[in-house]
Amino acid sequence: MRILDRTIIGRFLWNFFVLFTLLFIFASSIDVILQMEKYLRAASYVVENGTYKYRAVAFVAMIFQFHGPRAFQFFQFMVGLLGVGAMGFTFSQMHRTRELVAIMAAGVPLRRCVWAVLVASLALNVLGVLNQELVLPRFADQLMLDHSDLGRRDRASFPVTVTRDSAGNLLYASSFDPESHRITGFLGLERDERGSLVRRTTAPSANWDEERSTWVLTGGTSVLRDPAVRDGVTQSPPPMPAAEWKTDLSPKAITARHYRLFAQMLSSADLGKLAEAGALERSQADRMQFGRVGAVLVNLLVLAIAVPFFLKRGPANMLQMCVAAATIAVPTIIVSAVVMAAPISGLPAAVAVAIPIALLTPVAVARISWLPS
């Protein structure tokens, strides 16, 4: 039995690797062809700057710089669909070589083959969770790069509109550099419980201190509002030097508000911090966090539903079986992802994520139970 399990798991993982490699290379090649001019322009730019000596080497480097981190993102998006495809190829090969007949002749039920594939798929999905929590956050900045940013690792700076933190204070910046975590034209407004201005802090520039969760100001000044009114005019003391401005509006929180897709690349812990800082709605953060666990269960359930299409005791048209399995698996995974990600009025995030799982579980159990041995 262990030999059978190792054989099935080995073929499944190999087919998964082949499918992943071919599809990623195909998608990357299409992008390079469509954006060839930008890649060539970026290659010329880095050669002129002395980063590379030869334009051909620079051209290849630009491709790897742009698409290298996207391999992990592609794996995260496609692990469920590729698992179904790898399973289909694995059992189609075994059906063509009559190995399924030999398995049944040895007294081993076909249902036994299902568990080997499910275990391998579970391992890949767990790898996907680790990829989401540990790898993608490291490449989150690079994944936000556009083709126009080729040749440089950072994104273009952008202004920060008036942004509220969890304490109700407001932050504004003329420009924010997400790579260096540097703000120019800093303005911080501290408010009381009623929303009235208490202190106004300005600085030509500011840098983020991760350990202390504060913006370290360069040439900062602070003006404390005096509520006293004299001759009909509100009086305020002269500006005082200010060295820092404490807030939970970290560079990640600012970037997440500017790039909505950026939050999807972060870990669950980072999502929780963004929600606490007010950079992300709590319900949206909960949907993302619960959805990552729900996606693993949906992928396994869809795989279990699709397996019986390929485990046939007698002759069968595998092309028809592949089309039938794809017709069921692809829309199911896509619709489930949409349901888990979309806000549903009146339903908590955990309940919305559980809906596809609750609907697919009895179908998967029935499909496996009715599988002829």
In tens, the pLDDT along 109-164 reads 888 888 999 999 999 999 999 999 999 988 887 887 778 777 765 556 788 888 88
- 10 Å Cβ neighbour count for 259? 18
Give CA–CA dist 92/98, Å, rounded.
10
Residue 360 CB contacts under 8 Å (≥ 6 apart), including other chains: 298, 301, 302, 305, 332, 336
Query: If we measure between CA atoms, which residue out of 198, 123, 189 comes closest to residue 162?
Result: 189
Phi, psi of 215 (to 5 degrees): -90, 120
Token representation of residue 320: 């028809």
Q: Helix, strand or coil for residue 175? A: strand
Distance CA 115, CA 240 (A): 69
Amino acid identity at 132: Q
| Chain mean position to CA 357 | 21
Question: How far apart, in Å, are the Cα atoms of 371 and each of 70, 129, 289?
Answer: 38, 30, 34
CB of 114 closer than 8 Å to CB of 300: no
Element of type H or E holding 270: helix 268-277
pLDDT for the residue numbered 132? 93
d(CA 309, CA 329): 11
Q: How does pLDDT run along the chain (373 residues), one tens digit per residue? A: 588 889 999 999 999 999 999 999 999 999 999 999 989 888 888 888 877 888 888 899 999 989 999 999 999 999 999 999 999 999 998 888 888 888 888 888 888 888 999 999 999 999 999 999 999 988 887 887 778 777 765 556 788 888 888 888 899 998 898 878 889 999 999 988 887 888 899 999 999 998 888 999 999 988 887 665 545 455 667 788 888 998 888 888 888 777 767 778 888 888 887 777 666 778 888 888 899 999 999 999 999 999 998 888 777 787 888 888 899 999 999 999 988 888 877 778 888 889 999 999 999 999 988 887 6
pLDDT tens per residue across span 7-31: 999 999 999 999 999 999 999 999 9
- Placement of tokens 């334009």 in the chain: 55
The torsion angle over the Cα atoms of residues 211, 243, 202 and 223, rounded to 10 degrees, is 130
Taking the CA atoms of residue 338, residue 295, residue 27 and residue 151 in that order, the dihedral angle to the nearest 10 degrees is 90
Q: Where are the alpha helices (DSSP H) in 131-189?
A: 140-143
CA distance 109 to 367: 15
CA–CA distances in Å: residue 280 to residues 144, 175, 254, 343: 18, 21, 10, 14
String of b and e for 164-174 (b: at least 16 CB within 10 Å)?
bbeeebbbbbe
**Sign (positive or negative) of CA dihedral 95, 97, 101, 105:** negative
Query: Which strands, in side-by-side order, build the sheet including 214-224?
Result: 158-164, 170-177, 182-191, 197-209, 214-224, 240-246
Residue 174's φ and ψ, nearest 5 degrees, are -70, -35
